[in-house]
Amino acid sequence: MPKPVVAIPADIREIEGNVWQATPNQYVRAAVKGAGVIPLLVPALEAGHDFDEILDRVDGVLVSGSRTNVHPSNYGLEATEADGPFDPARDATSLPLITRALERGIPLLAICRGLQELNVALGGTLANEIQEIPGNWDHRKPDTADLDVAYGIRQDVIVKEGTCLASVVGAGTVRVNSLHRQAISATAPRLAVEAVAEDGTVEAVSVIGSKAFAVGVQWHPEYWVGSDEPSNNLFKAFGEAVRDYAASKQPSTKRQASG
């Protein structure tokens, strides 16, 4: 069976005075090393994508983090400057891609902004500047140029017993990193909360009744793939789900031949 392909929706970034389609290399590296798949960046377009044409060609969707925020108009709120920075092309690509992948039973792993997009795509809402909520921690990216420090593992989350995530990383306390100012406010009806921080922040979800692996995490497992066991286990489980999906698309004769 050919190596499966995973779609990664890109961001619009301005680099050296030009506009780029971009995603941080850590997601590509984790897809290759952690999930054993071929990553395929999907350009962020405000219009023009045929999402079934894209999804016909892939076996999974990996939705990355980004410092930009989902535009509040996607969850019924007016936007203020404080809600930015925005990336409307990413929103217009990622949100429908998530929705259609779930409808088609294509495995999905959503990380940080990706979890927030998963929640919005299924009808949930987001809260902004959550560190300003009394009793909340500061979940924001540490102010440092050293990425190993910025993505340093520094926070406990509690994974609930009997969840999809618990079957992958184990139930109970898991130490993770944290680089976000937003979080789930109203959880979408089709999402099950699978992990929370000790301040109550939703840290992981799964899609209730999904046809395939469909998990979102607020932290960044991609960064420590290769050295952190929960990160490795999460990407390994995603890779296995992607391979199962890819195999299910093979004609039965091919499936029998490959055993």
Active site members: 112, 220, 222
> Chain-centre distance of CA 42, in angstroms?
14
How many other CB atoms are found less than 10 A from the CB of residue 176?
Answer: 24
Instruction: Using the minimum distance from each CB to ligand LF53FM6H, give the nearer residue, 100 or 181.
Output: 181
Token representation of residue 106: 């294509």
Instruction: Using the minimum distance from each CB to ligand LF53FM6H, give the nearer residue, 112 or 205.
Output: 112
Q: By the 8 A CB rule, do 107 and 213 touch?
A: yes
Cα separations (Å) of 15 from 10, 18, 20, 45, 256? 14, 5, 7, 18, 49
Among 13, 49, 71, 180, binds ligand LF53FM6H (CB under 6 A): 180
DSSP state of 205: E
Instruction: Using the minimum distance from each CB to ligand LF53FM6H, give the nearer residue, 113 or 243.
Output: 113
Among 29, 104, 160, 181, binds ligand LF53FM6H (CB under 6 A): 181
* Binding letters toward ligand LF53FM6H, positions 107-136, x by CB under 6 A: -----xx-----------------------
Between CA 38 and CA 5 the distance in angstroms is: 5
Angle ∠(102,218,223) on CA atoms, nearest 5: 100
The span from the first CA to the last CA of the chain, in angstroms, equals 10
Q: State yes or no: residue 184 binds ligand LF53FM6H (CB under 6 A).
A: no
- Which among 200, 174, 175 has a CA at the least distance from the CA of 187? 200
Among 13, 49, 71, 141, binds ligand LF53FM6H (CB under 6 A): 141
Q: Under rule CB under 6 A, how many of the chain's residues touch ligand LF53FM6H? A: 12
Token representation of residue 60: 């999974």
**Part in contact with ligand LF53FM6H (CB under 6 A); list of ranges 61-69, 156-164, 170-178, 201-209:** 61-69
Among 29, 67, 100, 160, binds ligand LF53FM6H (CB under 6 A): 67
Instruction: Using the minimum distance from each CB to ligand LF53FM6H, give the nearer residue, 61 or 112.
Output: 112
Residue numbers at the binding site for ligand LF53FM6H (CB under 6 A): 65-69, 112-113, 141, 179-182
